[in-house]
Structure 1
């Protein structure tokens, strides 16, 4: 195998807290919004398949705004040469990290021989990440499960980590659940298989030189802090960060990264994000494409239901503009609440 080039990993510090890659959710508008809420958390793209980039020429899938940094791209694939080419494209596009998906259990991923099914082919994963590392200066990372189907996680996971470590991977995110490729839907795979946080913590002790983040079922910053206190290097939060972005991200820089600046209020965050929305509309974009990611901003606050309803119904209408956003804000106290 090729020796992996040595270089600084600029995204490692940011990986102390990251927002999970989520299909149909973490698009560029979502990431731009999340970046307003947290300056430091590591953000991920939706999974992008290497064939789409290399064979399909879909380079538009790599587009992002500079404000999104630190930013990682997640790739799906199982062909070493194809993944290497896609990793090179990601570097040229300006990403801070390239991540290989070894955890997604969806049918369409299985049919392409990548995602969680790769947990059964660790040697192939080693070839893939080694090929990627040999062609890019970006840190090559992996997101995986603790095992799949009838595998015994206590046996499979350390062997898998040992293989990718030997191939040059120094940073991995482990979803602390098995994936059942037969019999469970992707949604059920996020909820039904039991969580095994202790096993992930054990892997950190066993692979002390690896940066290990934990993912799965972590829904509050307090829970994230608890995982970090037990020795994990990072925490990845998915659905909670999307559905309750203020609770997770507004306080993240202070509580997780030690920032001293005052967090924005929810209203201030909307005000800060407003120019981005305006530019999107000026370029012919639809309001709903952006505001659908903001529906949970006021979750748990007075008027949250009205905020969601006005945005959900109004932003989808043809020609919807910033007046819809203003009408939604009126349901949660209006613009005068900024700074509260």
Structure 2
């Protein structure tokens, strides 16, 4: 397994694609990597128990080209999280992230995710165990600004102080509360108001911590504005998934000042050998192409691209020729003077 390195993942964290259940699987990440060589990618959340007892290749496998890529764990038992972090580090992940932000019912019933905002001492114990068990990887935390009736301006600084005392130096803060009572997981992504100012205040209060902003960021310009305000990184979720050409294709020159914006057509062509290999291993075309539907958002032919892949990719025998036929429906990018 190709092993990433901490300096590379730290540099990449200036812009990252959020861990998203059912979306950021290995096929999605491989496609996103064709659009940006620098952005930090995250797995879907995997529970510590699943990493320890489940099919590790299926749950935590990745292609070396995905690096830098981070593994996100869910759990609340320090010993199990330590064991899972060690496994993740041995499999080549340069970063292991602890989920303290997901508000789903399943996560609540397992006493992890956003509910951990109410137990900063437990999170500190979990982090300390992970750091001790996986010295080769950086241990990070993704959190909310609070849950339910908590007062974020009291809760968040206490959380950051206690967890950073355990050795965590990098946090991604989703700048919304999670309402575990009364809102669905979907509503928790949109309904609670954003408080970017509080995250900015936390950066001023904890200048030694690496803080990334998450929540509601829909463009590269918004990401650049957050970096200009002094935040260390920005994590984008749904916008990067649904419109990867706008967020990820120009990211390398915009965020890091390197390389050129990628033409999404070139990224799609780069996927063809990967698709061939996936099909040869017994996979199905739609498992890869479902993550590519937004590749040409706003371009003439985008609707035909989405329709052809949506209707055809799950059919028996569908292969790279369908992708090429759909690509032929996309109008060329206009030449720039």
2-side partners of 1:42 and 1:339: how far apart?
29
Q: Could you give the per-residue CA deviations for residues 97-127 of structure 1, whole angstroms, max 9, x where no partner exists? A: 0000000000000000000000000000000
**2:198 is matched with which residue?**
199
1-side partners of 2:172 and 2:247: how far apart?
19
**1:332 is matched with which residue?**
330
| Residues 18-167 of structure 1 mapped to structure 2, 5 A cutoff | 18-56=16-54, 58-137=56-135, 138-167=137-166
Structure 2, unmatched stretches of 5+, are: none
1-side partners of 2:25 and 2:230: how far apart?
31
Report which stretch shifted further, 294-303 or 48-57: 48-57
2-side partners of 1:256 and 1:311: how far apart?
31
| Residues 175-186 of structure 1 mapped to structure 2, 5 A cutoff | 175-186=174-185
1-side partners of 2:251 and 2:6: how far apart?
24
Displacement of 1:58: 4.2
Displacement of 1:329: 1.2
Q: Does 1:10 align with 2:8?
A: yes
Displacement of 1:60: 2.8
- Number of aligned positions between the proteins: 330
Aligned residues: CA RMSD: 1.3
Task: Judge conservation of contact 2:6–2:95 (CA < 8 Å) in 1.
Answer: no
2-side partners of 1:236 and 1:135: how far apart?
26
Displacement of 1:339: 9.5
Task: Judge conservation of contact 2:36–2:262 (CA < 8 Å) in 1.
Answer: no
1-side partners of 2:239 and 2:333: how far apart?
24
Structure 1, unmatched stretches of 5+, are: 1-6
> 3-state SS of the aligned residue for 1:67?
helix
Task: Judge conservation of contact 1:23–1:46 (CA < 8 Å) in 2.
Answer: yes
Task: Judge conservation of contact 1:23–1:47 (CA < 8 Å) in 2.
Answer: yes
In the alignment, which of 290, 306, 313 is matched to residue 288 of structure 2?
290
Displacement of 1:96: 1.2
What TM-score, normalized by structure 2, do the two folds share?
A: 0.96
> 3-state SS of the aligned residue for 1:307?
helix
Displacement of 1:264: 2.0
